[in-house]
A and B are shown apart, each in its own frame.
Chain A
């Protein structure tokens, strides 16, 4: 009985030893071992079951995954003195857990250090470039309708000198260099949101409204212009159609008249005297009607026989 009791105790001790002498790491963990507070050995990053010195060693676990950092939305003036809210976020991870453990101890501390560093770099970067560089990435031309596009004589927009991508990369590079000594790798800083501060926003809205009004007026005036143009075109076409018809009609009748004249002269020219005789005779009945009084002489061919039948 004693032996079974001892076995029980032994088993308990063994279990305790096993419990204290092993630990597991999950896929997203890494660890630094400390023996009575003093770091020992290389940091452990492979997941699974591991051994340690029972009771003496402490496992300090750290996250191995990409961690997020969110900036405090910040009111920053740009180089061209426009006040904007800039809201940034970043991705980082603990690459040297030992150093991280020594310098920062835990993630909460790390977050607050990152706040200081990245917010500062963001402020620097935003303040040293005009707003357009924080908004646009490239100088691509807008594909706008002609009347949507800016009118001529507008202040030309500043070209993008470095653009959003390179601006954020600059923030990232500078901040990353600083945080490296904490055992932290900062892989990316991105601008999540940029907005005008309220007072500026009101001004921007006013500008947008006036811009729209201008576009509307321009469109209206263009409409009136086009309409006038079309009316002019109508008038021109009308005149051209009518005058052309007149011209062609005149030409046609002229040609016909000429042809007729040629026919007449051709025919009548063969015997002008006879033509005159014939035409005159034919003209008499139409020229003389009931209202015409005639004084005739018996000398005339017609009446001569009234006087005499002589030849």
Chain B
């Protein structure tokens, strides 16, 4: 009240302070009227703004009243108590979230590019295998928020915790596999086991996160060792090649030999058939001839003999016929003079004659 009086209190007492006050109050009232409306407008707008919230389709809204969790709300428009009494925290429960280890995707706009590997990323991916070797494993973890309450209120720095437990569980699993399994045959198994281990840890720490997938990306031996791993692969190829070549040679030779063997067998069978048939034929012929022969042995015998001799003499060379009873030179008989050239026949005859003479 004293403040109100001071500006006017300096003058003589002709002014009634009460009137002044009333006048002031009226002025104030008018002013208040205008600013009141403005104030009311501001209050109204801020009321509207702070009591309306919109939850996007891939989110749920977690509502806390004076700090206490009350409910979660589905996507759509929502009203709440204004002025920070009700807080709404939007959690993307439908969104597939991803954490990368050992590499970082930098840009997925038109072509995926990766950030240059830093010292820290290398540390993420270098790990010891169960046979105390070293492997470099890059992997990703895909997860969804399944429990927004836990996700928000149970753990401080959920994201960094997830990274920690991902690294720990991946290393625990890789630590129980040999470098060879991690690099080749056991990849899927490693990923599966890591997923289980990670989910278990995530549940134990009440992160409210559902691990969807653990996918191994590049799995390599450390750079200095890479060439020797490649050398092993080459050696394996070489081994396969040596074996294949040997088999090729085998396949080239054996079927042919089998064919040749079959040829020999067939030929032998042919010979056998031939031999037996001939024998049978000859035997039958002999039997037939003999049957006739036995009917008239003497005549047949003579006939056969004479026929044979005729045939022989017809084709034989020079012939000398001697008569034992004459004890001398037998007159020469050219049975087949026409068949011999005179010189030869004469020569042979003379020779024969001479030979005979010398006896």
Given A142-B177, A263-B276, A271:B67 Cβ within 8 A: no
Which of chain B's residues has its CB closest to A28's CB? B153
Interface centre among B153, B178, B279, B304 (most CB of A within 10 A): B279
A297 to B320, alpha carbons, bound, how many Å?
A: 8
State the Cβ distance, B48 to closest chain A Cβ, in Å: 24
Q: What 1/0 mask marks residues of chain A from 291 to 306 whose CB sits below 8 Å from any chain B CB?
A: 1111111110111001
Q: Is the CB of B153 within 8 A of A216?
A: no
A132 to B175, alpha carbons, bound, how many Å?
A: 9
Q: Which residues in chain B, 315-354, are within 8 Å of chain A measured between CB atoms?
A: 315-325, 330, 333, 339, 348, 352
Given A89-B168, A249-B265, A264:B279 Cβ within 8 A: yes
Q: Is the CB of B321 within 8 A of A212?
A: no
Given A208-B225, A270-B290, A65:B153 Cβ within 8 A: yes
Q: Which residues in chain B, 237-275, are within 8 Å of chain A measured between CB atoms?
A: 238-243, 245-247, 249-250, 253-254, 257-258, 260-262, 264-265, 267-269, 271-275
Question: Which A residues are CB-close (under 8 A) to B64?
Answer: 26-27, 47
Q: Which residues in chain B, 269-287, are within 8 Å of chain A measured between CB atoms?
A: 269, 271-276, 278-280, 282-284, 286-287
Q: Is the CB of A289 within 8 A of B232?
A: no
Q: Is the CB of A298 within 8 A of B322?
A: yes
| Of the residues A190, A259, A264, A278, contact of B289 by C-beta under 8 Å | A278
Q: Is the CB of A292 within 8 A of B316?
A: yes
A104 within 8 A of B: no
Q: Which residues in chain B, 110-129, are within 8 Å of chain A measured between CB atoms?
A: 123, 126-129
Which of chain B's residues has its CB closest to A132's CB? B132
**Selected interface stretch from B31-39, B71-79, B179-187:** B179-187
State the Cβ distance, A145 to closest chain B Cβ, in Å: 7
Which of chain B's residues has its CB closest to A141's CB? B178
Interface centre among A24, A135, A196 (most CB of B within 10 A): A135
| Of the residues B126, B228, B276, B283, contact of A209 by C-beta under 8 Å | B228
Q: Is the CB of B130 within 8 A of A292?
A: no
Question: Which B residues are CB-close (under 8 A) to A291?
Answer: 317
Q: Is the CB of B67 within 8 A of A24?
A: yes
Q: Is the CB of A48 within 8 A of B65?
A: yes
Q: Is the CB of B254 within 8 A of A65?
A: no
Q: Is the CB of A256 within 8 A of B271?
A: yes
Q: What 1/0 mask marks residues of chain A from 249 to 285 whose CB sits below 8 Å from any chain B CB?
A: 1101101110111011011101100110110011011
Question: Which B residues are CB-close (under 8 A) to A55?
Answer: none
State the Cβ distance, B280 to closest chain A Cβ, in Å: 6
Q: Is the CB of A242 within 8 A of B257?
A: yes
Majority SS of interface residues in chain B?
helix
A162 within 8 A of B: no
Q: Is the CB of A234 within 8 A of B249?
A: yes
State the Cβ distance, B323 to closest chain A Cβ, in Å: 5
Question: Which B residues are CB-close (under 8 A) to A18?
Answer: none
Q: Is the CB of B293 within 8 A of A293?
A: no
Question: Which A residues are CB-close (under 8 A) to B234?
Answer: 216
Q: What 1/0 mask marks residues of chain A from 191 to 228 whose CB sits below 8 Å from any chain B CB?
A: 11111100001001100110111011101101110111
B97 within 8 A of A: no
Q: Is the CB of B315 within 8 A of A143?
A: no
Q: Is the CB of B66 within 8 A of A49?
A: yes
B56 within 8 A of A: no
Interface centre among A46, A138, A293 (most CB of B within 10 A): A293
Q: Is the CB of B231 within 8 A of A213?
A: yes
Question: Which A residues are CB-close (under 8 A) to B155?
Answer: 65-66
Question: Which A residues are CB-close (under 8 A) to B225?
Answer: 205, 208-209, 212
Q: Is the CB of A241 within 8 A of B317?
A: no
Question: Which A residues are CB-close (under 8 A) to B123?
Answer: 193, 195
A311 within 8 A of B: no
Q: Is the CB of B261 within 8 A of A244?
A: yes
Question: Which B residues are CB-close (under 8 A) to A106?
Answer: none
Q: Is the CB of A136 within 8 A of B67?
A: no
B229 within 8 A of A: yes
A176 within 8 A of B: no
State the Cβ distance, A248 to closest chain B Cβ, in Å: 5
A49 to B85, alpha carbons, bound, how many Å?
A: 10
B313 within 8 A of A: yes
B219 within 8 A of A: no
Q: Give me 8 other A-B pairs in contact (C-beta within 8 A), A2-B1, A216-B235, A268-B283 excluded.
A: A48-B66, A49-B66, A91-B205, A135-B132, A137-B176, A195-B123, A268-B286, A290-B316
- Top-3 shortest CB links A-B: A223-B239, A256-B272, A245-B261
What would be 13 A-B contacts, judged by CB atoms less than 8 Å apart?
A47-B67, A91-B161, A135-B128, A135-B130, A137-B175, A142-B181, A193-B127, A205-B222, A216-B232, A227-B243, A260-B279, A267-B284, A268-B283
